[in-house]
Amino acid sequence: MHLSQKKPSELRENPRSILLAASLTAFLSGCAPVGPDFVRPEAPANPEWLEAELEEFETDAAELEAWWRILEDPVLDELIATAKQENNNLEIAGLRVLESQARLNIAIGSKYPQQQVLAGDISAIGVSESSANTDTADTRFTEFNAGASVIWEIDFWGRFRRGIEAADAELLASIASFDEALVLVTAQVADIYALIRATEEQLRLAKDSYTIQERSYQIAEVLYRNGSNSELDALQAKTQLLGTAAVIPDLETTLRQLKNALAVLLGRNPGSIDGMLKGEGRLPEIPESIAVGIPANLLRQRPDVRRAELQALAQNALVGVAQADLYPSFTLTGTLGVTATEGTSSTESGESGVEQLFSSGSIGYSIGPTFVWPFLNYGRIRNNVRVQDARLQQALVAYRETVIQASREVEDAIAALVGTRVQDKILAEGIRTARRSAELSLLRYQEGFADYQRVLQAQQALFGQQQRYAANRGNVVRSFVALYRGLGGGWQSSGPMDFVDEETREEMNERTNWGDILDDPPQRQ
């Protein structure tokens, strides 16, 4: 860095220049930022749920933090606790929060001098003697330079403040995304768990039906061999038996696939969670009365609604960042350095170049403001403002759409829960009727008062009713899970948040200096 030297009289004027620059800085940085201030969009929500008048739903505030404990299933409790600790997608969401915190810190740093540089160099210079005007000049010398420079673009129009506002909103949006991942993971674990238990029940019933149908086939086969009936009865009985047998491996395959899916949610390899399921179990019982709150609660309960609002807030700030480019930017630049040469005829003392470098006569400086105004930009900046404003409007519409979809998810889950509960009662009654019909038809067939066709029809009806009943009982639990997922349950916690586990924290600290971000992570606001 080569700096021109100043006279002592000019050095004495330096404090005045610095005072003027500081006053200008304070004045310029105090202006309000350009761009629109964010206004929270209207949230289209119904005053109450469509099924709110039904006795099984209450408008009291729902218990959301650990809603699955309502089911009183210790196995499910353990599975969800494991998923919250070891689910990989959840950990990625937590790491994105830390990334957003680092990005916010970058944005905050833009308020201060954007460039602070220490530099120095040593140059051995040789000028061609055949060049013009070298008769009296020194052609061989060494130059020493050292100095510092500071460049500070003043945030006159609030561009950097708007950038910090956008980064801060993005950080909070990333926390909302983490909360949304918590809601999704807990609901997915409970949903797959319900499917596993329902499939186990279907498999058990299929095996029971096979046993009953095998007994019927043996009776038909004995009667045929004794000449009491035709071969057709025995063949029909065997056909039905084989049809039921074919269902069993299909259910076993489905059960294995569901367990594999659950293992992945727990961050583990397939086949490693069978012990956690503790063998075959029963479907959890749903309480008769369920608190669902009111639709307006979704605005604070649903992380995706909060995330959509924060994304609109961030985009609103980016409109201000774009608008700031329409105006001139003001920069305060300052340099302070020392320069010395060695080996020239002008060097009177016997000091070396390095020794001269630290003498008072080698000091040089410059300080002053500059401005840049891209006034002739052919509409590029104005159109960038329009781009950002269009994105803001998209974000506002996306927020309204998110609220509407959230309400729809809850309404759908309530309707499904009501419907499956009604079906549950009907199918339970149907099973009792079908079982009695199958018993009577087989008894009358053995006594010779009915043909085997009635036995087939009764047993087929019983098998179908049992399978539908087991599947519907699973759907009752799944509708309950979908309801609490729609309400935004599973992320609420009164304690501090840990976005990564201790092992990951230690690994990242060994690799990179994270300061206090890992030890004191950002929290919800």
pLDDT tens digits, one per residue of 312-328: 999 999 999 999 999 99
pLDDT tens digits, one per residue of 423-458: 999 999 999 999 999 889 888 877 777 778 888 888
Q: What is the mean pLDDT of residues 66-89?
A: 94
**pLDDT of 186 above 80:** yes
Structural element, H or E, at residue 340 = strand 329-342
**pLDDT of 419 above 90:** yes
176: Cα separation from own chain's centroid = 7
455 or 399: which leads in pLDDT:
399
CA angle 503, 509, 512 (to 5 degrees): 140
Q: Which of 120, 126, 129, 121 has its CA nearest to residue 343? A: 126
**pLDDT of 10 above 50:** no
Q: What is the mean pLDDT of residues 102-106?
A: 94
State residue 430's pLDDT score. Answer: 93
State residue 222's pLDDT score. Answer: 86
Domain boundaries, the chain: 31-110+155-284+303-328+373-511
User: pLDDT band at residue 32, thresholds of 50, 70 and 90?
Assistant: confident
User: pLDDT band at residue 295, thresholds of 50, 70 and 90?
Assistant: confident
| Strand partners of residue 112 | none
**pLDDT of 16 above 80:** no
> Which of 194-198, 277-281, 369-373, 515-519 tops mean pLDDT?
194-198
Q: What is the mean pLDDT of residues 240-263?
A: 94
pLDDT tens digits, one per residue of 329-344: 899 999 988 887 776 5
Cα-based distances in Å from 161 to 9, 317, 386, 450, 467: 39, 9, 20, 88, 62
28 or 7: which leads in pLDDT:
28
User: pLDDT band at residue 6, thresholds of 50, 70 and 90?
Assistant: very low
216: Cα separation from own chain's centroid = 56
442 or 391: which leads in pLDDT:
391
- Top CATH class, 31-110+155-284+303-328+373-511: mainly alpha
State residue 355's pLDDT score. Answer: 67
Cα-based distances in Å from 284 to 77, 160, 428: 12, 54, 17
Burial of 63 (0-12, 13-18, 19+ CB in 10 A): middle
Phi and psi based region of residue 260 (left: phi greater than 0; alpha: psi -120 to 50; beta: remaining)? alpha
State residue 8's pLDDT score. Answer: 38
State residue 30's pLDDT score. Answer: 56
State residue 479's pLDDT score. Answer: 95
Contact 38, 312 (CB under 8 A): yes
**pLDDT of 503 above 50:** yes
**pLDDT of 2 above 70:** no
Q: What is the mean pLDDT of residues 484-510?
A: 87
What SS3 string covers 84-103? HHHCHHHHHHHHHHHHHHHH
Q: What is the mean pLDDT of residues 80-109?
A: 94
State residue 234's pLDDT score. Answer: 85
Distance (Å, whole) CA 192 – CA 372:
61
Q: What is the mean pLDDT of residues 226-237?
A: 82
214: Cα separation from own chain's centroid = 53
Distance (Å, whole) CA 365 – CA 390:
47
Q: What is the mean pLDDT of residues 220-225?
A: 84
State residue 172's pLDDT score. Answer: 96
The pTM for the full model equals 0.85
Would you call 271 helix, strand, or coil by DSSP? coil
User: pLDDT band at residue 12, thresholds of 50, 70 and 90?
Assistant: very low
Q: Which of 399, 329, 368, 388 has its CA nearest to residue 158? A: 329
Distance (Å, whole) CA 394 – CA 361:
62
pLDDT tens digits, one per residue of 125-143: 877 766 666 565 667 778 8
State residue 380's pLDDT score. Answer: 92
451 or 35: which leads in pLDDT:
35
DSSP, residue by residue, 141-163: EEEEEEEEEEEEEE-SSSHHHHH
User: pLDDT band at residue 59, thresholds of 50, 70 and 90?
Assistant: confident
State residue 47's pLDDT score. Answer: 78
281 or 401: which leads in pLDDT:
401
Handedness of CA 343, 348, 352, 353 (dihedral sign): negative
Would you call 136 helix, strand, or coil by DSSP? coil
Burial of 438 (0-12, 13-18, 19+ CB in 10 A): buried
Cα-based distances in Å from 94 to 82, 105, 188, 492, 507: 16, 17, 18, 15, 15
Between helix 380-447 and helix 452-486 the angle, nearest 10°, is 150
Phi first, then psi, for residue 494 (nearest 5°) are -85, -15
State residue 344's pLDDT score. Answer: 59
**pLDDT of 29 above 80:** no
In terms of C-beta distances under 8 Å and separation of at least 24 residues, what long-range contacts does 254-258 make, across chains too?
254/199, 255/196, 255/199, 255/200, 255/203, 258/192, 258/195, 258/196, 258/199
**pLDDT of 5 above 70:** no
**pLDDT of 299 above 70:** yes
Q: What is the mean pLDDT of residues 57-66?
A: 84
**pLDDT of 18 above 70:** no
**pLDDT of 155 above 70:** yes
Q: What is the largest CA-CA distance in the chain?
A: 136
User: pLDDT band at residue 210, thresholds of 50, 70 and 90?
Assistant: very high
